[in-house]
Amino acid sequence: MSYTSFETLREVAEKYKIEVKRIKFLEPKTFEINNYLEKMLIRNMNDGANIASEASICENLISPIIKEVAYFNNVTVWSHIQFDLKDSNILTDYPDYIAGLKSKYDDMSLGSPILCLAEAKKENFTKGWAQVAAEMYAAYKTNENENHTVPIYGLVTTGFSWQFAVLDNDILTIDTNTFSASSNMQEVFDVLNWVFCECRKNIDKILEIEKSNS
C-alpha cells in the first residue's frame, strides 16, 4: 500500500491504532537566515512559475529552507528516495523529504534512525497529513526494528504555510499553529531549527549508546 493511498488522518489513525492530539508543543529556536537565501525565497514566492506544481514548490521554496536548516544542525536530508517499511510491502512510496542517519555501509543510503519526514502539498493539508502520518508510522516501526526508538517529526507544507507534528509511541501530536513563510519567514526557520536540533540530539544519544555498547 502506498502512503498516498490514505485520504484522511483518521484512516491512518484507525488502521495503525494511533491517538491524535492537537496542542502547541513547538519551541522556536532562533536561526540566522542567510541574506542571499532570504532574498531568493522572497523572489521565488512572487514568481508564479515557481509555484505552478508541487514539484516546483519543492525545488524553489521548500528544499532551500529544509536543507539550509538541516545542514546547520548536521542532519542529513534525502529527497524523493524510496522508503518502505522493512520486511513488508504494506507501506511503500517516495516521501518528498526524509531526514535520518546515514547507513554505516553506504553514506549515500538512509540508515537508522529515521528522524523526520516532510511532504509538499499545493493546497491539501488533509491529504498531506494522512500521507505524512503513514510515513511517520513506517519510520517509527523501522527504527523500532533496529532498536532505535526515537520520536519521529513530520511536517506538511505548501511552501507558504507550514504545519508540524511528532509521533512518539502511538501518540501523534500535531501543533495547532500554522506558520507562514510569506508573512513571517523568520518564524518558519526558527521552528524548523528547533525540530532539526531535536533530531540532532536524538542522533547523538543513539551514537553515544552504540559507542558505549561497542
Predicted local confidence at residue 43, as pLDDT = 95
Q: Which residues of the chain have pLDDT under 70?
A: 86-89
Predicted local confidence at residue 86, as pLDDT = 67
Query: Residue 165 to residues 1, 31, 195: CA-CA distances in angstroms?
Result: 23, 20, 10
CA atoms within 13 A on the CB side of 93: 20
In angstroms, the CA 165 to CA 116 distance is 10
Predicted local confidence at residue 90, as pLDDT = 75
pTM for the whole thing? 0.93
Predicted local confidence at residue 87, as pLDDT = 59
In angstroms, the CA 119 to CA 58 distance is 9
What radius of gyration, in Å, describes the C-alpha atoms of the chain? Answer: 17
